A and B are shown apart, each in its own frame.
Chain A
Amino acid sequence: MEFAAIFKAAFALVVGLDPGFLAIVGLSLRVTLTAVLIAAMIGLPLGAALALARFPGRPIVIVCLNALMGLPPVVAGLFVFLMLSRSGPLGPFGLLFTPTAMIAAQVILVLPIVIALTRQTVEDLWSEYRDHLRSVGLEGVRAIPTLLFDGRFALATALLAGFGRASAEVGAVLIVGGNIAGYTRTMTTAITLETSKGDLPLALGLGLVLITLTLAINAIAFGASRIGARYAG
């Protein structure tokens, strides 16, 4: 197919709201948003607790978490694959090659980002707020809601970073989802497959959506920090 024709066909897919195309975009968003939501529910309180807690081995935990932010998606996928495969510890649940498995893999990718960035944000805030919060009787666990709320703009950026990582990765969802058409085929796995098959318009159309998504995430992150500066100082 001619180069210009590929672009034209890709635009037609995006603008024409092709059902098959929309299904892929929808599944991707569902999996990634769910993964970010779960990672936020676990990671925000855990990161805040880690920021305030002092225990032996804490520096090692922090270094490991920071390192896990760079965990290769295929390794996360492999880990979840081993857990969920027939002979694995969670094998009897039959979750391999389902959207649930993909969510689990993406939670593993997003969680270290959320915990590590929350830890950093909350620790900085605590060092600023410590005297006042202790003065009004908020210490330890009781200080966490205040710190998470006051770190809301920085934490929103952390969640968006997690969303960016999860929505762009292909290795983990490919391994544990299996790229089954209409069931576990996401934007990234579809691009991989369609490119090798030669269906370039579909691949390019999905690529356009992904780029738009990335752009939107960055715009929102930028907006969040600006709103933060404007309304929270």
Chain B
Amino acid sequence: MRDVASILPLSVEAVSFLVDGRRLIDGLSFAMPAGGLTVLLGPNGAGKSLTLRLCHGLLTPGEGRIHWAAGAEGRAKRHAMVFQKPIMLRRSVEANIAHALAAAGIAGPERRERSQAALARFGLSDRSEQAARLLSGGEQQRLAIARAWALRPELLFLDEPTSQLDPAATRQIEELLASLVAEGITVLMSTHDLGQARRLASRVLFLHRGNLIEDTAADAFFAGPQTPEARAFLAGELIW
């Protein structure tokens, strides 16, 4: 069990993000309570990646605010992010995990223990000494998730984690994500793969032109979306 208070729910309140006066994210509000896998859906340019980056703190909102449950400030970051293209350091598989743990201030013996645990958990133990950048695409993404997992996040952000992978590797990553959710990790991920969203999501946030236009349980969303944009998107029409 975790010995400290949860950082969840995450609250996003009237957040806007502007670039050169263009509102790429416009008045976004939602909350992320603990549990489940929430999928950000929407056409290209809807603001899915921006939303994840804003939540994770890689970008600062121009307006509005993003905050975690009371008491989360000043403590070690309890949310992690996995990117579309795995960012692999030029080191061994194990050193990639150890580096992230070191950055989080975790000392030597515990760092090694947790790296080993992460390698074992994600089936990478026999690859621990290999150069991370020489792994296959699917293995790299698995390592990226293992690296994030080792940080023991409560909330994991993933930005289209399977968009560059073949179907088999995609399946493997999906199974992993489902097991993380079963473990109690809350997941917020973007995808443009509708099948994947159907398979994984417990909740859907549908973004369109920087606006959150639907926020519903996944079953309800796929059974009957409320907005014409979402209906068109599900029907496979090109919407902008």
Contacts and interface: CB of A to CB of B under 8 A. Distances in A.
A, B in one complex: yes
Interface of A: 128-129, 131-138, 142, 146, 149-152, 228, 230-233
Contacts of B133: 232-233
A232 B83 contact: no
B99 A137 contact: no
A135 B80 contact: yes
6 contacts: A129-B89, A135-B56, A136-B80, A137-B103, A150-B90, A152-B90
Contacts of B189: none
B90 A233 contact: yes
A232 to B, nearest CB: 4
A131 B99 contact: no
A146 B83 contact: no
Interface of B: 56, 58, 77, 80-81, 83, 87-91, 99-100, 103-104, 131-134, 151
B103 A232 contact: no
B104 A131 contact: no
Nearest to B144: A132
Q: Which of A137, A149, A151 has the most CB of B within 10 A?
A: A137
A136 B151 contact: yes
Contacts of A129: 87, 89
A193 B233 CA distance: 81
B58 A135 contact: yes
Interface residues of chain A: helix, strand, loop or mixed (majority): helix
Contacts of A232: 90-91, 131, 133
A45 to B, nearest CB: 19
A131 B157 CA distance: 13
A230 B90 CA distance: 11
Contacts of A137: 77, 103-104
Contacts of A146: 89, 99, 103
A233 B134 contact: yes
Contact of A231 (B89, B104, B131, B151): B131
B90 A138 contact: no
B83 A131 contact: yes
Q: Which of B80, B90, B132, B133 has the most CB of A within 10 A?
A: B90
Q: Which of B58, B89, B99 has the most CB of A within 10 A?
A: B89
A206 B89 CA distance: 43
Nearest to A128: B87
Contacts of B83: 131-132
3 closest cross-chain pairs (CB), A and B: A233-B133, A232-B90, A132-B87
A185 to B, nearest CB: 42
A150 B99 CA distance: 11
A91 B100 CA distance: 50
A231 B81 CA distance: 26
Nearest to A142: B103
A179 B134 CA distance: 51
A131 B50 CA distance: 12
Given A131-B87, A135-B56, A137-B104, A233 B131 contact: yes
B73 to A, nearest CB: 14
Contact of A131 (B58, B77, B91): B58
Contacts of A149: 91
Contacts of A150: 89-91
Contacts of B81: 131, 135
B226 to A, nearest CB: 33
Contacts of B88: 233
A96 B91 CA distance: 45
Contacts of B89: 129, 132, 146, 150
Q: Which of A133, A150, A231, A233 has the most CB of B within 10 A?
A: A233
Q: Which of B77, B131, B132 has the most CB of A within 10 A?
A: B131
Nearest to A132: B87
B91 A134 contact: no
Contacts of A132: 83, 87, 89
A149 B90 CA distance: 9
Contacts of B77: 137
Contacts of A134: 58
